[in-house]
A and B are shown apart, each in its own frame.
Chain A
């Protein structure tokens, strides 16, 4: 039997290795809350049967998963498999793409974020995002970070603003580098600095959930370590979803990992278990580097 997933070769292998699944079985992806380290964890966001189409490109197929409070969930998968797309559904930033159609149900704290009475402004304030490509505003570094707090009147005077801006810049390890140029344009920073600036900008809004799309792709190992520490620290207050191409990073920072392939959520589970004992042929191929 051939599926459209390009897994026909592996079907034979499946006969030998019984424990490895080769077909995607949604029912087996039910949340294993038991595997979450923090057993007191409560559910922050849930996605149920989410489908995304860009015109006639079916980018996300029937994905269901949950995001817990105070956890880091990493999403891995080959390029083009829909990681960014899925992330962008979680704060409805995909709404502004005209030919992007989303079906299914996504809830934040039990409330359907695609329902009519959900305020997208509030949603996006609660679910912050760091984009794959750094996109600082053509404003000063300071104004970039102060953008969100000012918008929501979270700060009312200069001192409060200063405090938020400086602490956020410090958190992402950028303060020392840019202190002198804090009033120069954010677009003049280096790529890695811009990426951290964007993280700081997202932190400044103090969201409940932070979505990070490859936040370390342009960073050196030291800055990466710094961000990873930060993520770990942020976990105490927030839920974090991180897309990454680095398996090591996923292993280091996340409690749970989801593996996407061609728009399907193939496997999801405890990070340790995914990397040591993947349940699915595709996952195994990917993490052992046999993919493609």
Chain B
């Protein structure tokens, strides 16, 4: 009985509903797009704000002073004891003969960094023949004036930092600028000095070396141990309750908060084994325990990707199981293992909290010369500097972040490159 159906699809009810559903579709897609754009914008904002804040750290405002090394100031036997501060200040005063009052002079002298005399001292001690000559030297200005020069911080209330610079100082500084005695020059101190309370004297070398030793220890421990554990679990271990337990354990450890690892380091390495505090060795030990799960998981995946035919081939030729794994399988899985290791190490390099807890957070000026010297690490240095009130440290911090990110990006690019270069499809 063929009906004459008025199809539901032709009814106005359906058409109306359809229009609404179309609109909902469009909105949904829009929400997704917006969400993605928010995510991308966060990335952009993060990097742009850090870069804008940070590039300044690589430049330093310096003042050119023609210092006359008056022989009268130096005694033959003890170059170290000469009053270098006086040399620097007198040269500065000579540019402003009108400043005579002691109080004003003191204000004027603040323009030059307090570290200037030590720099001059080092210079003379390295080259005693300077005595009796005049030499023009670029010396860092105080951080307040560094900021004034770079971003007008402290110039007037609208720029922030009001009260940091007195009116006189502003006048003097501007006249120095006008005379071409002030210039922005490459900040060598930043890469050659340790930490300092004075932003213009603070450098990253101490933190970089601390990170280097910490990561070295981490790498030396976590890579061999992680690779061996991955080999055992993937190639030799029987599948039973116990190995299952190990596996759950490893997966869970990968998600344990880093402060908990810090507690472990504190209680076990420092309190129980009596290892010294604040040293890269302990930092490296803690970080290697944190990194191990990543390396083991990546290592197992790499081993798993090696096709069974390779093992069967070697076994068929009479090789033992251990021989097969070490000589045939591991070399093929090595790129994957290395990729996992690099990614794990990159994460360890940025890790901060556990290092704070084992004491790598002290104010340390000296450059560490081994994993048993007290030191900080790059991310810890960032943390320390963020806490400092001086405006100039914002720049220093951002600069340190840029360097940290540069390391991380390089490591990740190497990891990706390794993976692509050696990736095999069987």
Contact = CB atoms under 8 A, between A and B. Distances in A.
B14 A152 contact: yes
Sort chain B's interface into a size bin.
10 to 19
Interface in B1-20: 1-3, 5, 7-9, 13-14, 17-18
Interface string A54-77: 000000000000000010000000
A208 B8 CA distance: 10
Contact of B18 (A119, A236, A237): A119
Sort chain A's interface into a size bin.
10 to 19
Nearest to B21: A121
A126 B15 CA distance: 13
Interface in B211-243: none
Given A119-B18, A152-B17, A126 B3 contact: no
Contacts of B1: 236
A110 B14 CA distance: 20
Q: Say whether chain A's binding surface is mostly helix, strand, loop, or mixed.
A: loop
Contacts of B8: 152, 154, 206
A25 interface: no
Contact of A153 (B2, B5, B9, B17): B17
Interface string B391-426: 000000000000000000000000000000000000
A80 to B, nearest CB: 25
A70 B2 contact: yes
A126 B17 contact: no
B360 to A, nearest CB: 50
Given A121-B18, A152-B17, A153-B13, 7 more contacts: A119-B22, A125-B9, A126-B7, A152-B8, A153-B14, A206-B8, A236-B1
26 contacts: A70-B2, A119-B18, A119-B22, A121-B18, A121-B21, A122-B9, A122-B14, A122-B18, A125-B9, A126-B7, A126-B9, A152-B8, A152-B14, A152-B17, A153-B13, A153-B14, A153-B17, A154-B8, A206-B8, A208-B7, A208-B9, A236-B1, A236-B2, A236-B3, A237-B2, A237-B5
Interface of A: 70, 119, 121-122, 125-126, 152-154, 206, 208, 236-237
Q: Which 5 A-B pairs have the closest CB atoms?
A: A153-B17, A126-B9, A125-B9, A236-B2, A122-B9
